[in-house]
Structure 1
Amino acid sequence: MKISTPIIPSKQIFANVANKENAYNLEAICVFVATGFFMGADTYWKNKVCLLPAHDHELDAQGRLLKSTPNFNWYYQPEQKPFKDTLSNYIELLTTITKNQVKDNPVILPLSGGLDSRSQALVLKNFKNEVQAFSYAFQGGYPEHHIAKKIAKECRFSFKQFDITPGYLWQVIDDLLSINGGYSEFTHPRQMAVLPELKKMTGVFSLGHWGDVLFDRGVPEATQKGDVVPLLLKKMVKPRGLILAEKLWSNWGLKGDFKTYLIDRITTDLNAININNISAKVRAYKTSQWAHRWTTTNLSVFEAANPMTLPYYDNRMCEFVCKTPESYLADRRLQIAHINQDKALANITWQAQKPFSVANYAYNKTPYNIPYRIVNKLQRTIKNVQGKPYIQRNWELQFLGDSNAEKLESYLFDNNFNTWIPKDVVKSTYNTFLKEDPINTAHAVSMLLTLAVWYKKNNT
C-alpha cells in the first residue's frame, strides 16, 4: 500500500513500525513538553510514527511503514517580476485555489482581526457561495468579534459571535483527547468550546491557517547563519516547559542532557533543507515541522464539525512561495497590498496593530499611538481594581479560580499518573504557576494536564 502526503498535510496519519519495541518514546515526550508539539515523525511510542509531509510512504499489508521517500523538497528560486505582477499572480492563485476547494458549497468562515481570514473574506466576497462567518472572543478580554462583525457586514456575510467562557474545558476534555489524540495541549483549540454550535452549521470550513508564516519573513532581517538555531530554539521552547522537560529527562535517566538533544535535532533537520537564503530556509523548516505537528493537530477539531478547506495549505501555494522573492513576502506585503485593494476592508481595525487599520498601520508608533496606549492601560487597570482581570489567554479562563483549580488538581495529582510523572515534579511546577510566574508556567501546567489525560486513557 502507498500513501502520498502533501507538502502541508491537513491531517496526521499514523503507522506502526516493525521491529521496534512497544514502549514510550521518552525523548520525544520531553520535546513535546518543552515545545507543545512532537517533532518529525515522533509519537508517544517507539513503534509508532506520524507519516512525514511531502513523502511517498510504502506500507505492508498490516499497515506497518516500510519506506518513506520525499516527493517534494523545499527550494528558493525567486522569479524576478515586478511586485505588481507578483501581487496579481498571488490574488489569482488564492482565488483559484479557494474556488477549487469550496466549489459550490456553502462556506463557513472563521473571522479574526488579522490578515489571513480577511484575505479569504475578500476573495469569497466575489463568489456566489453562501457564507456563514463567525468569531469568538475570551469572556472579559478584547472583543475580537467586533472586528470580525464589521468585516462580515462589509462582505454581506451572515455572522455569529461566540464567547469563550470559564471552565468549558472540563466538560469537553475527554472528547478533545479523542479528537486530537493528545498531540496538542488542551487550551489552544478554543473552537472546542463551541463545537456543538459549529456542528449545526452547514457547509465547508475555509480556514486561513499558516498564511501568516508563508507570507512573512522566516527570520528577522539581517539574521546571520549562526543566529538561526538559537532563534529557533527561542521560538519553539517555552522557558518553563524547558525546565519541566529537563526534570523529566533526568528523572527518566535518559542519556546526555535534554537541551543538547533538542539543539542537535533542530540542527540536523535544518541542515537537511538545501536552501541558502536564511529566511526561506527557516520558513521551510517551520512549515515542515510545526505546521504539520502543531497547527494540523488542532485542525482536527474543525474537522469534527464539518469538512475543511485550507487555501494556504495547498501545494500550489507552497510552490508559489518558493518562487517569490523574500522582499515581496516580508512584512506581509502581498497580503496587505491585496486587502488595500478594498478600501472598506482595509479601513477596518487590524487587531495586531489596534487601533490602526490595514490602511494606516504605519502610524502605530510614537507619538501617534500614545493616546490609545494610555486609554487601553487605564481601562485594564480599572478592570483589575474592580476584580475583573483582562483576559488575554485561554488558560486564564480554564485554570484560574477555585472551581478550575479543583478540576485541574484532580488530574495533576492523580495517584496513577504520579507513578509516571513524580508528584514532586508536578508539585514544583504547579506551585511556580500559582505563586511565582503564572504566565510563563501556564504552558508547563497545560502540558502536564495533557499528559495526565493521555496517560489515564492509555493505562486504564
Structure 2
Amino acid sequence: MKTITTSVIPITPTYAKVEAPHELHLEAICVFAAIGFFLDTDTYWKDEVVLQPGCKHIISEDGYLIESTPWFKWHYTPDNTRDFNTTLEEFTVLFESIMDEQTAGKKVILPLSGGLDSRTQAVALQHLKASVNSYSYDFQGGYKETKIAEAIAEVCDFDFTAYTIPKGYLWDVLDNLATLNRCESDFTAPRQMAIVDEFETMGEVFSLGHWGDVLFDDMGVSDDLPLEDQVTVLQKKLIKTGGADLATQLWTHWNLDGDFDSYFNDRISALLSAIDIPNSANARIRAFKSLYWAPRWTSVNLAVFASKHPITLPYYDQRMCEFICTVPEDYLAKRQLQIGYIKERAPKLAELTWQEQRPFNLYTFPNNRMPYNLPYRITNKIERVFQELSGKKYVQRNWELQFLGEANQKQLDKSLTAQNFIDFIPEVTIKGALSGLDSKIANYHAHQVNMLLVLAEFKKSTNA
C-alpha cells in the first residue's frame, strides 16, 4: 500500500481505481455536458475516480482507493481583531513571499491580462526585481486586451509580446489538446493552445494567476443566505448556457433512472451541505468552488502550460488558502485586498484601465455607472456597429473563431459525424446544436457544440 497526499487545490489530477464495473459513467457524463467539467471525483468511468483535494489517500498496490482522510478543511474563522490595513500588510508579506519562493533566480513567464490577478503578480515581480518575459493575446476582431497588458509590462519594465488568437487554429492542435486535458474540459477555453509552441523559448517557469478572482472576491450573495438558496445559486453558476438542455437530451437518450434536474440538484445539495461553514454563505460557496471547480476545470488545462515549462500558481498555495479562511468577507468583497495592494505598491499600475471596468481604473471604477459611463458605452457601441457594418464580426469568445465559418463548419461536421459517435449521441442532438450556431441564440448552442466535440474526441480515443 502507499499513501498519496493531495494539495488543497491540486494542479494535476491523481487517478485511482474503485470496485465497480468498467463501464461508462453516463450520469457523470451528463453532468459534464451541463457544466463543462466532471464533478467531485467523477470521471468517464465507473471504476475510476480522481482523488479528492486536501486528503490523505491510502492506495493498494494495484491502484485501488482504500481510504481517504481529509487533512485540510475549508472554514470561515475571520480574525476580526485585524483592521483592513493590517490584513493588507499580512497579504503583502504572504503574497510576495510565495512569489519569491516560486520564481527566485528564474526567468519568469507571466501571462498578462487587463484584470487584477496577473496585475497583482506583476506588482510583486516588479518589487522582487524578477526577470520577466510577459505576453498577452486578444481575439482576431475583438477587444484589444493586449493594449492594457502591454501598458502594465511597460510600467514594470518587463519584456512583452502581443499575440492574436487566429481563426481556426483549433483543428491543427485538437488531438494534442485532447491528450493534454484528457477530454475533461472543452477545447476553446484554453486559448493558450494557439501559441503553445511560442512558450518554448520564453523563459524557465510560468507564474499563473488562476483562482485569484475567486479567492479575493465575494460570491455575490448575502452571508445569511439559507442553504437551500445557496444550492440554487450554485446551480445557476455551474450550468452553462444550453448545458441543462444537452444533459437532459443525453439523460433521456441513455434511458437513465429519474431525471437530470433532480439528480444534479441532489448532488450539489449533498456536496454543499458537507462543507461545514454555517456562518457565511459567501465562504461556503467559495469553498465549494475551490474544492470542485478549481481542480476539475481550472486545473485541467494547466497541462498546456506544463507541457513546456514548470508552472507555479501563487493563489493555489496552501498558505494563501489558509489565509483566505481568516479574512472577513467585508475585506474580500469587491477585490479590495488586491486593489489596495496594487495602489500601495505600484500606483502607476493602478492608474491603468481595469478591463472589467473599462474605461475606468482602480481609482475611478466606482464611477462605472450611469451617467458617468454613458460616453464610453455610446462610443463603444458605435465602434462595434461600424465594425459589423464593414463586414467584420466583433469577436468576444474563442468559439466564434473556431466554430463559425465554412472551413470551421467542415471540421465540425467531420468530427461529429463519425459512426461510433452517432451511435453514442443522438443525431438529432448533434444536428440541433450545429444548426443553432447560425441562429440568433448561437451562444446557447456553442456550449453544446463544445461539449459534443469533446465527447467525440473521447469516443475516438477509446473503444467504449
TM-score, reference length from structure 2: 0.97
Instruction: State the alpha-carbon separation in 1 of the partners of residues 235 and 409 from structure 2.
Output: 31
Q: Any conservation in 1 of the 2:433–2:446 contact (CA below 8 Å)?
A: no
* Cα drift, residue 436 of structure 1: 4.5
Aligned: 1:298 with 2:301: yes
Q: Which residue of 2 aligns with 1:212?
A: 213
Q: Any conservation in 1 of the 2:241–2:443 contact (CA below 8 Å)?
A: no
Output the aligned Cα RMSD: 1.1
Q: Which residue of 2 aligns with 1:347?
A: 351
Return the match for 1:430 from 419, 428, 434: 434
Instruction: State the alpha-carbon separation in 1 of the partners of residues 157 and 52 from structure 2.
Output: 40
5 Å matches for 1:47-86? 47-80=47-80, 81-86=82-87
Q: Which residue of 2 aligns with 1:120?
A: 121
Instruction: State the alpha-carbon separation in 2 of the partners of residues 32 and 262 from structure 1.
Output: 11
Query: How many matched pairs?
Result: 459
Instruction: State the alpha-carbon separation in 2 of the partners of residues 233 and 43 from structure 1.
Output: 20
Instruction: State the alpha-carbon separation in 1 of the partners of residues 116 and 405 from structure 2.
Output: 34
Instruction: State the alpha-carbon separation in 2 of the partners of residues 116 and 448 from structure 1.
Output: 32
Q: Look up the equivalent residue of 1:329 and give its one-letter code.
A: L
Q: Any conservation in 1 of the 2:354–2:360 contact (CA below 8 Å)?
A: yes
Q: Look up the equivalent residue of 1:344 and give its one-letter code.
A: K
5 Å matches for 1:155-194? 155-194=156-195
5 Å matches for 1:279-294? 279-294=282-297
Q: Which residue of 2 aligns with 1:393?
A: 397
Instruction: State the alpha-carbon separation in 1 of the partners of residues 198 and 11 from structure 2.
Output: 22
* Cα drift, residue 227 of structure 1: 2.0
Once the two structures are superposed, residues 53-76 of structure 1 have per-residue CA deviations (whole angstroms, 9 ceiling, x without a partner) of 001111111222111111111111
Q: Any conservation in 1 of the 2:223–2:281 contact (CA below 8 Å)?
A: no
Q: Any conservation in 1 of the 2:204–2:309 contact (CA below 8 Å)?
A: yes
SS at match of 2:160: strand
Q: Which residue of 1 aligns with 2:316?
A: 313
Unaligned runs of 5+ residues in structure 2 are none
SS at match of 1:21: coil
SS at match of 1:125: helix
Q: Any conservation in 2 of the 1:203–1:307 contact (CA below 8 Å)?
A: yes
Instruction: Provide closer, same or farther for how the CA distance between residues 207 and 75 of structure 1 changes in structure 2, counting only shifts above 3 A.
Output: same
* Cα drift, residue 432 of structure 1: 2.5
Q: Which residue of 1 aligns with 2:339?
A: 336
More displaced 10-residue stretch of structure 1: 163-172 or 339-348: 339-348
Q: Look up the equivalent residue of 1:78 and give its one-letter code.
A: P
Q: Look up the equivalent residue of 1:118 and give its one-letter code.
A: R
Instruction: State the alpha-carbon separation in 2 of the partners of residues 64 and 157 from structure 1.
Output: 48
Unaligned runs of 5+ residues in structure 1 are none
Q: Which residue of 1 aligns with 2:20?
A: 20
Instruction: State the alpha-carbon separation in 2 of the partners of residues 224 and 68 from structure 1.
Output: 31
Aligned: 1:374 with 2:378: yes
5 Å matches for 1:119-268? 119-221=120-222, 224-225=225-226, 226-268=228-270
Q: Any conservation in 1 of the 2:222–2:281 contact (CA below 8 Å)?
A: no
Q: Which residue of 1 aligns with 2:329?
A: 326
Instruction: State the alpha-carbon separation in 1 of the partners of residues 65 and 190 from structure 2.
Output: 30
SS at match of 1:416: helix
Q: Any conservation in 2 of the 1:60–1:66 contact (CA below 8 Å)?
A: yes
Q: Any conservation in 2 of the 1:218–1:281 contact (CA below 8 Å)?
A: no
